[in-house]
Structure 1
């Protein structure tokens, strides 16, 4: 089945959203019991962590950890936002730099100014978006970013989105209470799908959509470690407690170019494999044998593949043993933990 399809459904009792591209599962969002990224707390400073430049905070959902705590004293209230999912047994990662994000607009209370996505090149369109922003935002002291989705958005929808995000940011930032509290919940899978999967797609909302469109078969395959790379090659994506290990094998291909072909296929498919499994943190690639002269081409292919990925991923580089390392933000609940 060609094209893009967004399916909004449930996995058991959990809200879920799937993005199918040409019949393959390209992205998967599943709700979990953990606090959602984007949740804003009024937290209470608890105790500093010497040597790490951070502090543990008390929140309604348990202990959180905040880095860069200059001027923060134990017992002081502070507004923080959940930035990702914590590993089991660890504190919730939070930041004091709040963002209020929707389909068309991002409000940045701590970074004033108006910016338009650099992917929007048309000058007439940029001028029109500036007019909408100035008419809607007025003299706000908050920062405003208009996202790339504004290129195909309706003017009225963009204006409503800006107004809604500014109102939400204003209510949160003007909060003056002192006890810990959850001020806003992060977006669930259905809202996230509307917010971030903005390319044209068929949208399916009927119950049972996952079964009807083959999502369940793809999810079952993603629960296993193996990912086919074509030509008999494969990679195994296996999370451990310390890191995510990716092992690339050439299979039955014994040609001189087998290693570089398998590794280039790994570079293209790795972002999708990590997305649908909800994996992040430290990632170590044990690649198939290839000459050192081919490393630059592999890095370029890997960088290009992650450029289109929504989750922040840093390409760290090569180890003395010839492995390649990445660091990826934990923005998804791991598939193995929610199913």
Structure 2
């Protein structure tokens, strides 16, 4: 049976889907103080028509600008200048989160309930009417057979209200064990070891993501079947990493060695590995011998959220997570966060992060600035 795990820590929610073999099948990172906005309902104002782009730009709450394609306006597609006009207010929903320097993608095709909810909101300028569902709810609706387990009492109550009490269990211990935590640590870096040797090297760029198969010691073998086995494992793991990391856009996969004819035999296994991911599709084997994959952009990719390398905010939130675990294991102690100025600034700028840390620790967290330090460390402080 599939299982959804939701782990809450100061400033972050981490949601994982485990398949029937208890293997990580999907992962979502959310920062509730700075949500990505997917599924949010807005009242937005048309600021500029863009016929050349077949759409329009809309002003949203908080000063953000979204893009509305003409294909997402009304029941029948028509030129954008005929469908809407500048200055008009529209009820819209976010269908793609802002990412890669581009604003959110919008649709004006709402359900009757969504349209009624926007219409019932107080009159005024651009406004956020309702937040979209959190990742745990999206996964629960996509996998109705899955049970959900969380280590957060407030989130358990919220999810029980939406899914029913029988489907949501509250854990008094962290729901992510050491094996899951170790795998999540791998998602923050470019290297993924392969079973039996070799590794994947993942290199995101603004234009595309390149995934390279490094055969390691197998590269020197004279056994062509060993190389084929390695690459078979590599294409399966590449498809899994693409989904876990929310990679999107153009993705190129270069397998290790193999003739063009032998590379072509991997197209079927790669397509099968990508099949459970509705956002991804294999375009084929290109003239350079690279597998070309296209994945729809919905959420920001994980490397944008975490930073590449880890951003000061990600370093600080990881330290707060460690502090919360230490405090749960050893209650009644005082803790301090020793960090670079950029880390403390990033934490202070994320709404709720430091307040949630103080609540988890049961005492205010002492912040110690160390200009020469890189990253952040948590340490126990003496009483008195």
1:289 pairs with 2:257 = yes
Residue matched to 2:276: 308
**Is the CA contact 2:6–2:148 (under 8 Å) kept in the aligned structure 1?**
no
Query: Deviations 1:215-266 (Å, cap 9, x if unpaired)?
Result: 3222112112222232212211222222211011222112213443333223
**Alignment match of 2:201 (pick from 217, 221, 236):** 236
Q: 1:195 to 1:175 in 2, by over 3 A?
A: same
Which protein is bigger by CA-based radius of gyration? 2
Q: 1:168 to 1:79 in 2, by over 3 A?
A: closer
Taking the aligned partners of 2:144 and 2:235, their CA distance within structure 1 comes to 24
**Alignment match of 2:105 (pick from 93, 98, 121):** 93
- In the TM superposition, what are the counterparts of 1:140-289 in structure 2 within 5 Å? 167-168=113-114, 170-172=116-118, 179-201=125-147, 203-204=149-150, 205-206=170-171, 208-212=173-177, 214-253=179-218, 254=221, 255-289=223-257
Taking the aligned partners of 1:23 and 1:12, their CA distance within structure 2 comes to 26
Q: 1:315 to 1:301 in 2, by over 3 A?
A: same
Higher relative contact order (CA 8 A, sep 6+): 1
**Alignment match of 1:74 (pick from 62, 71, 86):** 86
Taking the aligned partners of 2:117 and 2:43, their CA distance within structure 1 comes to 13
Residue matched to 2:299: 332
Query: Deviations 1:138-162 (Å, cap 9, x if unpaired)?
Result: xxxxxxxxxxxxxxxxxxxxxxxxx
- In the TM superposition, what are the counterparts of 1:12-27 in structure 2 within 5 Å? 12-21=10-19, 22-27=21-26
**Is the CA contact 2:65–2:104 (under 8 Å) kept in the aligned structure 1?**
yes
Q: TM-score, with normalisation over the residues of structure 1?
A: 0.70
Taking the aligned partners of 1:207 and 1:275, their CA distance within structure 2 comes to 29
Q: 1:94 to 1:193 in 2, by over 3 A?
A: same
Taking the aligned partners of 1:186 and 1:179, their CA distance within structure 2 comes to 20
Taking the aligned partners of 1:207 and 1:276, their CA distance within structure 2 comes to 26
**Is the CA contact 1:278–1:334 (under 8 Å) kept in the aligned structure 2?**
yes
**Is the CA contact 1:5–1:20 (under 8 Å) kept in the aligned structure 2?**
yes
SS where residue 215 of structure 1 aligns? helix
Structure 1 position 325, deviation (Å): 1.7
**Is the CA contact 2:43–2:92 (under 8 Å) kept in the aligned structure 1?**
yes
Q: 1:260 to 1:49 in 2, by over 3 A?
A: farther
Structure 1 position 64, deviation (Å): 0.7
Taking the aligned partners of 1:265 and 1:52, their CA distance within structure 2 comes to 41
Structure 1 position 194, deviation (Å): 2.1
1:42 pairs with 2:43 = yes
Hey, which of these two has a bigger chunk of helix by percent?
2
Q: 1:75 to 1:167 in 2, by over 3 A?
A: closer
**Alignment match of 1:320 (pick from 284, 287, 291):** 287
Taking the aligned partners of 2:9 and 2:242, their CA distance within structure 1 comes to 19
More deviation in 65-74 or 166-175? 166-175
Gap runs ≥5 in structure 2? 71-79, 151-169, 307-313, 315-384
Q: TM-score, with normalisation over the residues of structure 2?
A: 0.62
